[in-house]
Amino acid sequence: MRIQLNNAINQIISSNITEDMTEYEKELAIHDALVDKVSYYNYENVEDIPYIKHTAYGALVQNEAVCDGYSKAFKLLLEKIGIDNVIVHGSTEGVAHAWNAVNIGDEYYHVDTTSDKLNIEKKHVIHTYFNLTDKQISETHSINHDFNVPECKSEKYNYYKKQGYS
């Protein structure tokens, strides 16, 4: 399983990352590759979710995961290319949820690959939850501050702002 996971990580990186890319461009490429590759594992009862769907292996090898599988896969991929990040625990719509806080340009930003996947229409990758501040993510998510969550206050690398869409 470890070999399969490492192979999947290396494949995504070699297919999407070049040395001349900025941190932001690398983060965006990994986000888009993950959202495109992984399907959300739909369930009716949280107790019935197979453990593997909560893992990076489920996301990157089996191409199917729930939120913590997405966030663990995103964490591993970003760490492999030298981008620091942490998994954030909290909730959305009253349901337990996990996503990442990513360090780009010495500032942290919230990134929720799962929510971007769930809001996807057809094959178009969206970036609604890409590099948000605490205030922005708090509109739809509640952060569990029992964990050490870095402050996310910059908008410099927010997708829509960076791309000139807002």
Paired strand residues for 121: 124
Model confidence over 91-111: pLDDT tens digits? 999 999 999 999 999 999 999
Question: How confident is the model at residue 90, as a pLDDT?
Answer: 97
Question: How confident is the model at residue 117, as a pLDDT?
Answer: 83
CA count, 13 A, side-chain hemisphere, 42:
2
Question: How confident is the model at residue 35, as a pLDDT?
Answer: 94
Question: How confident is the model at residue 146, as a pLDDT?
Answer: 85
Q: Which residue positions in the chain have pLDDT lower than 50? A: none
In order of 10, 41, 70, 129, 142, the CA distances from 120 in angstroms are 25, 14, 15, 12, 22
Question: How confident is the model at residue 120, as a pLDDT?
Answer: 61
Query: Would strands 64-65 and 39-40 be described as parallel, antiparallel, or unpaired?
Result: parallel
User: How many of the other CB atoms lie within 10 Å of CB of 55?
Assistant: 20
Q: Please give the model's pTM, rounded to 2 decimal places.
A: 0.95
